Amino acid sequence: MKLYDFELSGNAYKIRLMLALLGVPYERQNVDLFGGENRKPGFLRLNPRGQVPVLTDGDYTVWDSQAILVYLARKYGGETWLPRDPRSLGDVMQWLAVSENEVLYGLGRARVIAKFKLPGDLAAAQKSGREILAVMEQHLATRDWLTGGHPTIADIACYTYAALAPEGGIDLGPFPAVRAWIARVQKLPNYVGMPGIGTA
């Protein structure tokens, strides 16, 4: 199994974290995004979108962090990380949608604008990021995990850009339940970190 990766990509980190939590061995292949390696024909054959992460497992190639999380959870995680019953699965999918929308376009976008100097409206991204943190804060005030009584891929999908929020100029201080949830993720067995994520 090989992961096409970039150290500072939050989406790629989700997969490194998931693989570590599952205890699945893999080979890591760095893709130089700053050097444009992701736009070269060899990489585009793996992912025509030109994005990391990409995972190859034998003759199977899957791209997009959400799809890879689903694949890994179903192949290696049993019922724990991706439940099969309709209500629990629906709950997980709700938060996967949040991770690809408000979390990515609020918290994630604020980070890439502030840290990597990409163009965009930083104030608007920060506002959106704080709004989704407020939603998560209310939700997590009465539970330990986003869905059910244990961590799922919903937590992994939303965790990364929440934990990286300070790199986008978003203070986590007003969100104690979110900070407590971040700390719980960081205490999971086999947890691995990434640059920019401190301890909660």
Q: Is 159 among the domain residues?
A: yes
Domain that holds residue 14: 2-76
Asked if 91 and 147 count as a contact pair (C-beta separation under 8 A), the reply is yes
| 199 pLDDT more than 90 | no
Together in a domain, 22 and 69: yes
pLDDT of residue 198: 76
Together in a domain, 26 and 56: yes
Q: How far apart are CA 104 and CA 22, in angstroms?
A: 24
Residue-wise pLDDT tens digits, 100-120: 999 999 999 999 999 999 999
Residue identified by tokens 């965790």 is 159
Together in a domain, 116 and 172: yes
The whole model's pTM is what?
Answer: 0.95
Q: Is 192 among the domain residues?
A: no
pLDDT of residue 78: 87
| 10 pLDDT more than 90 | yes
Mean pLDDT, rounded, for 30-49:
94
pLDDT of residue 15: 98
Q: Is 194 among the domain residues?
A: no
Q: Is 60 among the domain residues?
A: yes
pLDDT of residue 200: 57
- CATH number for the domain spanning 38: value is 3.40.30.10
Give alpha helix (H) positions in the chain: 10-22, 41-46, 65-76, 86-98, 109-116, 122-140, 153-163, 176-186
Together in a domain, 182 and 91: yes
Structural domains counted in the chain:
2
Together in a domain, 11 and 48: yes
Together in a domain, 72 and 139: no
Average pLDDT, rounded, for the chain: 96
Q: How far apart are CA 25 and CA 16, in angstroms?
A: 10
For residue 190, CA distances in Å to 108, 180, 193 come to 25, 19, 10
Together in a domain, 45 and 137: no
| 97 pLDDT more than 60 | yes
| 86 pLDDT more than 80 | yes
Together in a domain, 117 and 68: no
- CATH number for the domain spanning 98: value is 1.20.1050.10
Together in a domain, 61 and 93: no
Together in a domain, 106 and 174: yes
Single out the residue in 76, 109, 140 at which a domain terminates: 76
